[in-house]
């Protein structure tokens, strides 16, 4: 009797288990919104669907087919990939989400450029998460605010950032400049096969496109620690711009743009820009040679490099260095006096005044220069001069010319005052003072005390 009771009890639980399994496909898991239209049956994106099962093994939903889209009689459920539907919860929540999505529900896009990137943020400097193939179809999910792509003229390029979905379920942000937007109401879509996308993988090209490439002399500045701040602030560079399909070369006296439809590898670490007379070759992980053909047929080559630090950080460091030097000059004086050469004063805001300097006009200071201006601490000394001088600066005199008047000096100091020496323009190489003048013009200023009294007589200007 006991064994018969156990058998009946086991049978009872078995019936319950079978009932659960048989009814599991009928019980709703929730409701969702179709993000990407289906082909069989042809259901348009944006449709609200009942969701019955999620399979984490096969990565699919089992969803219901609305009656209006049923093709085969008696078939009311089918499977779709997990990425193709957004589970919203209850039916009302799904309908609310569908209403929010309605503006973009049927909006798709075809890529008009091989290698167009999808990024993890709406910014063309953000990390690339996917690279599209020419003609590949993507689903537009929403338009978002982002940093627009900028042309060489400094103007934003036409287009918007969209949050998008690819046919394999990847999501991210894509700039629309190289997208062809269109509406689709359901059925088949021409999509590049996944295998074709995988064939495009090129880690070296990804590295080139994800880096910022500056002219090689930027690298020389960093390695020598002699930074031309004015040059850096121009942001000279080479920009492949995969978001826009317009490659730019932006250098002094050179502003070139090349429209292209794709980037094709020609050999190891070498590529050509399809539709443009432009190619590039990665010499090392940090050095890139860019070649282009001029209208006359001549081949030009330029060298660009990556920097070991962010350009903004480099500019900030150089700005801080200059501010420190200027603060040191201010702390040393800030007022210096000479019987023959007048009074030179430094101000905390980087300005200066210099009165009584008539003896230097016009040999050193033009007659049009006013007695005030700003101080620029951007000069460097050649190695042979570093032991003898503290540094060098440029005095930007206010004047009739809108660009002002620039006069360069080396300087050193002692307990009593400040010694400056005129540097003729021909003794400069860029921002580096190479040598002293053949007949040096040396000026010594004594510190003025806080009451403006000069403590001693000036040294001869021919000293040194």
Would you give the distance in Å from CA 86 to the centre of its chain?
Answer: 32
List per-residue pLDDT tens for the chain, 464 residues long.
Answer: 444 344 444 444 434 433 444 344 568 899 999 999 998 899 999 999 999 999 999 999 999 999 888 887 777 999 999 999 999 999 999 999 999 999 999 999 999 888 899 999 999 888 889 989 888 999 999 999 998 876 655 667 789 999 999 999 999 999 998 899 999 877 677 666 544 444 557 889 989 988 899 999 999 999 999 999 999 988 899 999 888 888 999 999 999 999 999 899 999 999 999 999 999 999 999 999 999 998 877 899 999 999 998 889 999 999 999 999 999 999 999 999 999 999 999 998 999 999 999 999 999 999 989 999 999 999 999 999 999 999 999 999 997 665 678 999 999 999 999 999 999 999 999 999 999 999 999 999 999 864 444 444 444 443 43
Are 240 and 257 a contacting pair, CB within 8 Å? no
Pairing verdict, β 432-433 and 380-381: parallel
362: preceding bond cis by omega (within 30 degrees): yes
Query: What domains sit in the chain, N to C, each tagged with a CATH number?
Result: 25-101 (2.30.30), 107-201 (2.30.30.40), 209-308 (no CATH), 313-447 (no CATH)
């Amino acid at each position: 009797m006991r064994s018969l009771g156990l058998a009946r009890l086991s049978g009872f639980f078995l019936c319950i288990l079978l009932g659960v399994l048989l009814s599991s496909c009928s019980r709703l898991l929730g409701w969702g919104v179709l993000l990407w239209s289906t082909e069989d049956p042809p259901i348009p994106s944006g449709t609200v669907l009942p969701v019955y099962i999620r399979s984490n093994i096969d990565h699919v939903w089992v969803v219901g087919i609305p009656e209006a889209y049923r093709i085969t009689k008696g078939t009311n459920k089918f499977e779709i990939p997990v990425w193709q539907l957004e589970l919203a919860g209850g039916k009302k929540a799904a309908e609310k989400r569908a209403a929010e999505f309605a503006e973009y529900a049927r909006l798709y896009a075809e890529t008009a450029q091989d290698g167009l990137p999808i990024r993890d943020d709406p910014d063309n400097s953000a990390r690339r998460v996917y690279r599209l193939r020419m003609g590949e179809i993507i689903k537009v999910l929403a338009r978002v605010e982002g940093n627009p792509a900028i042309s060489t003229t400094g103007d934003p390029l036409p287009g918007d950032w969209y949050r998008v979905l690819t046919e394999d379920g990847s999501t991210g942000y894509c700039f629309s400049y190289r997208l062809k937007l269109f509406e689709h109401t359901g059925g088949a879509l021409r999509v590049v096969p996944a295998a074709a996308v995988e064939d495009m993988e090129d880690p070296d090209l990804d590295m080139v496109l994800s880096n910022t490439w500056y002219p090689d002399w930027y690298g020389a500045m960093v390695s020598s620690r002699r930074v031309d701040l004015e040059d850096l602030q121009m942001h000279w560079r080479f920009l492949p711009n995969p978001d826009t399909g317009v490659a730019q070369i932006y250098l002094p006296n050179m502003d070139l743009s090349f429209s292209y439809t794709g980037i094709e590898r020609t050999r190891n670490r070498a590529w050509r820009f399809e539709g443009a007379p432009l190619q590039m070759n990665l010499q090392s992980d940090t050095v890139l040679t860019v070649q282009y053909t001029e209208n006359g047929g001549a081949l030009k080559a330029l060298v660009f490099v990556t920097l070991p630090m962010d350009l903004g950080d480099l500019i900030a460091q150089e700005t801080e260095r200059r501010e420190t030097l200027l603060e040191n000059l201010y702390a040393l004086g800030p007022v210096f006096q000479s019987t023959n050469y007048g009074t030179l004063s430094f101000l905390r805001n980087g300005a200066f005044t210099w009165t009584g300097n008539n003896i230097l006009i016009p040999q050193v200071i033009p007659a049009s220069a006013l007695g005030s201006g700003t101080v620029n601490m951007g000069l460097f000394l050649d190695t042979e001069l570093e032991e003898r001088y503290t540094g060098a600066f440029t005095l930007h005199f206010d004047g009739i010319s809108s660009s002002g008047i620039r006069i360069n000096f080396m300087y050193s100091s002692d307990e009593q005052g400040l010694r400056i020496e005129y540097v003729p323009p021909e003794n400069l190489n860029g921002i580096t003072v190479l040598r002293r003048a053949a007949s040096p013009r040396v000026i010594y200023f004594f510190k003025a005390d806080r009451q403006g009294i000069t403590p001693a007589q000036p040294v001869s200007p021919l000293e040194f």
